[in-house]
Amino acid sequence: EVQLVESGGGLVKPGGSLRLSCAASGFTFSSYSMNWVRQAPGKGLEWVSSISSSSSYIYYADSVKGRFTISRDNAKNSLYLQMNSLRAEDTAVYYCARDKVQQLVLNYYYYMDVWGKGTTVTVSS
């Protein structure tokens, strides 16, 4: 069964740090780009960061750039998100999601086809 399981969430004070993990199973992790997506309480989805299969390409939302670092360990089938200088507005459920690419005609289309259940991060004093 294809599965993603996040862990590492919790309560942290403003300015603190937290490292999230996402364990992948049931597919060849090293062949896929991966994403972190978050959802603040009662709000919509916000893309946070992406990393290519070999870690060659890494992208961040402006809201986390310079504070968060995405990484992966293909040998351990794991994705990570190091979160530093946390703010109250970082409070959210954080999901990891697999990036799937599909070729249709001459174009390549990307979408997030597998999601974890999420881990909750609360930033509060």
Please, what is the minimum distance in Å from the beta carbon of residue 25 to another protein?
16
For another protein, give the closer residue by CB, 13 or 108.
108
For another protein, give the closer residue by CB, 52 or 74.
52
Please, what is the minimum distance in Å from the beta carbon of residue 102 to another protein?
7
Please, what is the minimum distance in Å from the beta carbon of residue 34 to another protein?
13
Backbone angles phi, psi at 88, to 5 degrees: -60, -35
**Contacting residues toward another protein, per CB under 8 A:** 35, 37, 44-47, 50, 59, 61-62, 95, 97, 100, 102, 104, 107, 109-113, 115-118
Residue for token digits 């670092």? 69
Beta carbons of 27 and 33 less than 8 angstroms apart:
no
Please, what is the minimum distance in Å from the beta carbon of residue 107 to another protein?
7
What stretches of the chain adopt beta strand conformation (E)?
3-7, 10-12, 18-25, 34-39, 45-51, 58-60, 68-73, 78-83, 92-104, 107-115, 119-123
For another protein, give the closer residue by CB, 16 or 99.
99
